[in-house]
Chains A and B, each alone.
Chain A
Amino acid sequence: MSLAGVPDAALAAIWARHTEHVLARLDAIDRGTAVDSSREARQEAIGAAHQLAGTVGTFGFTRGTELARQIEARLGVTGAHSPALCVSARELRRELTGTVGDAPATPRHRAQ
């Protein structure tokens, strides 16, 4: 059991079924935080960050939630590329996939 009594297998199964969605949202964030990103790409990235901010914490990715919120807020305010945004995007991908390009990591035990 993990996450305060939620069965590991059930949690892992849900996470696995949404691997492609998580990766697609990370890709959208990459496009929206790129130097030459379009307005549409930034808007898509804001939406992707918002969705990740609202979900990954349920799977124990507390840092992932923080990073996604940062990205959503920074893109919403500045609407432009910045080194800090790229750093956050890379860290978010690393947090959720283990390493760049991997399938999403498995759900984590929540330290609560």
Chain B
Amino acid sequence: MLADTHIPATAPAHRVLVIDDSSLIRECATLALGALAGWEVSVACSGEAGLQRANSDPPGIILLDMVMPGLDGAAVAERLARDPVTCEIPVVMLTAADSAEDRERIARLPVAGVILKPFELAALAGQLAAIVGWEHA
């Protein structure tokens, strides 16, 4: 089973919170951002859990799934933006939906960028870093 939080042995340069109801996506993101990129990765399996974690232990960036049961990514992004503790954290939406309607909907949300699923494991950290302006080898 995937541990709730993966912390690399070396000191991480960046901290990211992955909010996704799919354990497969959470594991892939943890592999890509933790084991491969050396970032500190925490995960949440629902929008509600993600909001709690982001507020109690604010990360440097949030990778947020768009389609989830309960609070979906749009609702989570809007709540994060309204919370004084989390409003400055860049949110990157992760979505498999790429229609014009989907793009318009996401464009209206308080997010820094979008990454389409399926994503490339080896490229994910670079994509996130590019969106938020982090250095990444």
Contact = CB atoms under 8 A, between A and B. Distances in A.
A47 to B, nearest CB: 8
Interface stretch (B8-16, B70-78, B103-111, B113-121): B113-121
Contact of A14 (B24, B67, B95, B118): B24
Interface size bracket, B side: 20 to 34
User: Is chain B's interface secondary structure helix, strand, loop, or mixed overall?
Assistant: helix
A3 B122 contact: yes
User: Is chain A's interface secondary structure helix, strand, loop, or mixed overall?
Assistant: helix
B112 to A, nearest CB: 20
A17 B28 contact: no
A54 interface: yes
A5 B36 contact: yes
A111 interface: no
Interface string A97-112: 0000000000000101
Interface of B: 22-25, 27-28, 31-32, 35-36, 67, 95-97, 117-123
Interface of A: 3-6, 10-11, 14, 17-18, 21, 50-51, 53-58, 65, 110, 112
